[in-house]
Amino acid sequence: MAGERTTAQQWKRNRSRVVSIGTAILAFLILGMIVLVLGPVRTSLRVRDRRQAEGRIALVHGEVSSFFAQTINIATQVPSRTRIREEFVAYLQGGRSLEEYREFATSKLQDAIDGSDAIHAVRRLDRNGTTIVSIGFPSVDGIPVDGTEVRILNRIETVNDHMVFLVLAPIVDPGYGHVGWDAVAIDAEPLQRAIARAADSLEDAIIRVGAPGQEGISAGTVPEGRFYRFDFELTDQWTLVCQIPFRTIHADTRRIVTILILVIIVIGSLALTGNGLALAALTRRSAEEAQELATLVEDRTKELRRALDEKRVLMREIHHRIKNDMHIVQSLISLQIEQGIDSGSGEILKDARSVISLMQRIYEHLYQQDDYGDVAIKPILSKLLEEDIKTIAATKQLTITTDIQNLVLPRRVAVPIGIIVNELAVNSIKYGRQSVHDPSIIFSLHLTEDNLEISMRDNGPGFPDSTIRGTYGYGMSMVEALVQQFRGSIRLMNDRGARVEIMIPTPEIDGSD
């Protein structure tokens, strides 16, 4: 019941925290959507706005370019009149006097002006730029006549209160070649009206058609703040320039983004409200389910604890009985040895007693701890070498040096290793204590990344040649069998005494039973 109350109280304390976390997540998502709208969406809309503006400016550019093309076309019709051109050639060749040609050309050029609403004045020049005939022109500065191409001069004049472009058109006779020029004044007011219409359609924009050093024709107001500038080349002298404010081009984008943000905020507010209500209901329901779950968990935990306690008692009893049984076997062996038997059998029984003593110590160690699967190998081997082996040796001159890593090994590994060490130490004492005055044994055990390394050496007479070649007695045969059980290797050598090196692969130690 205490667990149920604790769980219920925890759910009540965490309810507001869960709601707050959910609200924060939704708020973060809403903020992310707003950032998305203000980022990629707005950028995409702005690109669309610029393309639309470029399309509208392209229409203005097309209309202005068309006007310039029409202006050139109208101007070139004047020098193309055959009769007036032939009379000009006759004058240049001396067949007409200047007065006769002026009288003839004046009426013809006046007819050209009267026949076109776009032409306000014409001036005919010879190849040197000298004025031959001038109709409708006030006093105008010298007109440059270099080249032989038709062109719109980079100047705007006023003729009869009309703004006009000056178009310089060459006069070319098929037989005589280039004979002179016609400077034709073309009305600029249609272009001015077209530019004004375009400027009116673009709020707070300015459109200008001009040439270097000339004010040109413009309409609209100079934009304030940031603006886009579009430049188009009409001729080698004239350009079209449009300046449109950011706010004009991106007005639709601002409206769309504002609407999207408002929609996101409204939807987000509704979602936050719904989320709060849903989470509140969920936490209330979860608290009830948690109380039921806590009861089930607590009951199951009690059952598992009882089963675990029973298992521990049972395991302790098993290990205790094994230890006692081994002690009985060890006592029986000791009695048999004391009754007196032949020396060979006595040695075998002593070896068996040593092995049983070692196994008894391992089970005693298991009996004293809660973990029945693993064994701390260092205290067992240390006691084996420093107490039991010295007792077997029955000499105070025996020196045993150990370097044992503090390892915890599985029981299936610890028991064979203990038997191996015991057998090696007993063999060393058995064959070495009679040949040296101060026998010594050096033992080490270390676990590396690849192997469990076991090494033992003494200062005795060493192994017989037959043993080095692989002919083992009972004890070494048992050691070899136990090593091969773990797919290990054993190496025997004589190095100022007997030396044994055993390698057991680490994966074999870590493997399960």
* DSSP H helical ranges for 141-223: 189-201
Number of domains, the chain: 2
Task: Indicate whether 36 belongs to any domain.
Answer: yes
Task: Indicate whether 83 belongs to any domain.
Answer: no
- Note whether 286 and 360 are same-domain residues: no
Percent of the chain with pLDDT over 70: 80
Q: Between residues 305 and 327, which one has the greater pLDDT?
A: 305
- Note whether 356 and 488 are same-domain residues: yes
Domain boundary residue among 299, 322, 357? Answer: 299
Across 8-51, where does the E strand assignment appear?
none
- Note whether 366 and 485 are same-domain residues: yes
- Residue 185 scores a pLDDT above 50: yes
pLDDT tens string 273-283: 776 677 667 66
- Note whether 285 and 414 are same-domain residues: no
- pLDDT score at 344: 64
- pLDDT score at 250: 79
Confidence of residue 17 (pLDDT cuts 50, 70, 90): low
pLDDT tens string 247-276: 877 777 778 777 877 777 777 777 777 766
Q: Between residues 315 and 422, which one has the greater pLDDT?
A: 422
Residue 399 Rama label (left phi>0; alpha psi -120 to 50; beta): beta
Confidence of residue 513 (pLDDT cuts 50, 70, 90): very low
Mean of per-residue pLDDT scores for the chain:
79
- Note whether 256 and 345 are same-domain residues: no
pLDDT tens string 120-164: 888 888 888 888 888 887 765 667 777 778 888 877 888 888 888
Determine which helix (DSSP H) or strand (DSSP E) holds 503, and give its type and residue range: strand 498-505
Task: Indicate whether 235 belongs to any domain.
Answer: no
pLDDT tens string 94-113: 888 888 888 888 888 888 88
Task: Indicate whether 169 belongs to any domain.
Answer: no
Task: Indicate whether 386 belongs to any domain.
Answer: yes
- Residue 449 scores a pLDDT above 80: yes
- Note whether 494 and 430 are same-domain residues: yes
Task: Indicate whether 394 belongs to any domain.
Answer: yes
Query: Shortest CA distance to 191 belongs to which of 134, 135, 238?
Result: 238
Give the domain CATH number at 478.
3.30.565.10
Surface-to-core class of residue 200, CB atoms within 10 Å of its CB (0-12 exposed, 13-18 middle, 19+ buried)? exposed
- C-alpha to C-alpha distance for 195 and 206, rounded to whole angstroms: 9
- Note whether 401 and 478 are same-domain residues: yes
Q: Between residues 340 and 296, which one has the greater pLDDT?
A: 296
- Note whether 275 and 358 are same-domain residues: no
Q: Between residues 358 and 2, which one has the greater pLDDT?
A: 358
Task: Indicate whether 293 belongs to any domain.
Answer: yes
Q: Between residues 129 and 342, which one has the greater pLDDT?
A: 129
- Note whether 351 and 465 are same-domain residues: yes
- Note whether 371 and 459 are same-domain residues: yes
Domain that holds residue 442: 341-510
- pLDDT score at 512: 45
Task: Indicate whether 92 belongs to any domain.
Answer: no
- Note whether 264 and 383 are same-domain residues: no
- Note whether 375 and 504 are same-domain residues: yes
